[in-house]
Amino acid sequence: MKYSDKTLREAGTVLSDWFDGNGRDLPWRHTRDPYEIWVSEVMLQQTRVETVLRYYEPFLEAFPDLHSLAAAPEEAVLKAWEGLGYYRRARYLQRGARVLCENRNGIFPDTPEELKKIPGIGDYCAGSIASLAFGKEVPAVDGNVLRVLSRIWGIEAPVDRPEGKKAVADLAARMIPPGRVWSFNQSLMELGALVCLPGVCREDRCPVRELCRARMEGKTDTLPRRSARKQPETIRRTVWLCVRDGRILIRRRSGDEGLLAGLWEFPGEDEGSHGWKWDRNGDPAVRARHVFTHRIWEMEGYEVSWPEGRKLPPDCRWADRDDLALLPFPGAMKAFLAWADENID
Ligand code: SF4
């Protein structure tokens, strides 16, 4: 289906008007500072607004600008991020801050093309920062926007493929009402968060229901389309709970272990790997399951004793309660942290 510029622009105006009257008052909507917008956009990727609200302001208090973030120890950044998950985002944020400070005197570029040269800034973040901080009339297309626009305009191409993404981005760019890019980009995010939800069409609250192709054609359940997705892989993992003199053994995951690299954990190993030899004491003390994007950990935690004479590997240490509270641990360790809380001094 071909749409005229007039039709697209009118729809963009309806959405912007709706946002101006209905948008939620969120802390990151009060700023035009590119650093603060960047932090909010990175936090909001794959994380609910309610969760981000608990982390956004404390994070900015700890790292109020690019320079403080660039200069901070990585562990402090990961600790401030603990609970938001997807820690790679925090690492990229800091890496990007360092590049901006070292190569650009801490000054953000204002175009998507230049912004995308910074580590950790992809198409979506570049569009957000350029439009929300600098008023550039460019779209910011994330998963919400792909869903909303593929429904409104009846886009049948899979939105997780380049052709589907491009079709959405092209239409979004043509919808922007002149001078109103801020409201327009916010309106798509807001519609995707409150009205046009995954698997749900709240047409009674929708400002564009009269022109929505998916609604008219009964396709709100089938759009957006996606190509067949691989099922996450299930990995059985043994976790060693080793208490000695009132402290528990923890290990820092190395930078090579892409998943959760740099975070602390109770040492463990995947089924089939040849790690430390331990004598298990009976049944598992803790059973836990954690779902990541592409894998699931089925974990069993066993109490073990530290063998006399074994040398402590350099990536391990004995931790007391304070250490467990201060060091960054991934959400996957939650049940084991609770066990440690009851079993150390
Ligand atoms: S009518 Fe339904 S599917 Fe269409 S944009 Fe509105 S909420 Fe989304």
pLDDT value, residue 1: 72
Nearest CA to 38 among 110, 137, 103, 144? Answer: 110
The three-state (H, E, C) secondary structure of 171-225, written as one string: HHHHHCCCCCHHHHHHHHHHHHHHCEECCEECHHHCCCHHHCHHHHCCCCCCCCC
Whole-model pTM? 0.76
Could you tell me whether strands 200-201 and 268-270 are parallel, antiparallel, or unpaired per DSSP bridges?
Answer: unpaired
The Cα–Cα gap between 154 and 83 comes to 37
pLDDT value, residue 149: 98
pLDDT value, residue 162: 92
Q: Which atom of ligand 1 is nearest to the CA of 147?
A: 8
Q: Tell me how far the alpha carbon of residue 8 lies from the centroid of ligand 1, in angstroms.
A: 16
Q: Tell me how far the alpha carbon of residue 165 lies from the centroid of ligand 1, in angstroms.
A: 19
Task: Check: CB of residue 253 under 8 Å from CB of residue 264.
Answer: yes
DSSP-derived letter for residue 264 is E
Work out the angle at residue 114's Cα, subtended by the Cα atoms of residues 164 and 148, and round it to the nearest 5 degrees. Answer: 30
pLDDT value, residue 259: 74
The Cα–Cα gap between 307 and 138 comes to 61
* Ligand 1 pocket mutation, candidates 211, 220, 222, criterion most atoms within 8 A of CB: 220
Residue 97 Cβ inside 6 Å of ligand 1? The answer reads: no
pLDDT value, residue 257: 61
The three-state (H, E, C) secondary structure of 80-110, written as one string: HHCCCCCCHHHHHHHHHHHHHHHHHCCCCCC
Q: Which atom of ligand 1 is nearest to the CA of 195?
A: 7
CATH number for the segment(s) 233-343? 3.90.79.10
pLDDT tens string for the chain (345 positions)?
A: 789 999 999 999 999 999 999 999 999 999 999 999 999 999 998 888 999 999 999 999 999 999 999 999 999 999 999 888 888 899 999 999 999 999 999 999 999 999 999 988 999 999 999 999 999 999 999 999 999 999 999 999 999 999 999 999 999 999 999 999 999 999 999 999 999 999 899 999 999 999 999 999 999 999 999 987 777 899 999 999 999 999 999 999 986 666 788 899 999 988 877 777 777 767 899 999 998 878 899 999 999 988 888 899 999 999 999 999 889 999 899 999 999 999 997
Question: Any idea where the domains of the chain sit in the sequence?
Answer: 5-216, 233-343
CATH number for the segment(s) 5-216? 1.10.340.30
Task: Check: CB of residue 153 under 8 Å from CB of residue 171.
Answer: yes
Buried b (16+ CB within 10 A) or exposed e, 87-121: bebbbbbbebbbbbbeeeeeebbeebeebeebebb
Give whole-number Cα distances, 16 to 165, 204, 288, in Å.
22, 18, 45
Q: Which amino acid is at 304?
A: V
5-216 matches 233-343 in fold: no
Residue 130 Cβ inside 6 Å of ligand 1? The answer reads: no
Q: Which atom of ligand 1 is nearest to the CA of 220?
A: 3
The Cα–Cα gap between 155 and 178 comes to 24
Longest Cα pair distance anywhere in the chain, in angstroms?
Answer: 78
SS3 call for 133: helix
SS3 call for 21: helix
Work out the angle at residue 343's Cα, subtended by the Cα atoms of residues 341 and 345, and round it to the nearest 5 degrees. Answer: 80
Residue 208 Cβ inside 6 Å of ligand 1? The answer reads: yes
Tell the burial category of 73 from Cβ atoms under 10 Å away from its Cβ (0-12, 13-18, 19+): exposed
* Ligand 1 pocket mutation, candidates 159, 212, 217, 219, criterion most atoms within 8 A of CB: 212
Which residues are identified as catalytic? 41
* Ligand 1 pocket mutation, candidates 148, 175, 219, criterion most atoms within 8 A of CB: 148
Residue 251 Cβ inside 6 Å of ligand 1? The answer reads: no
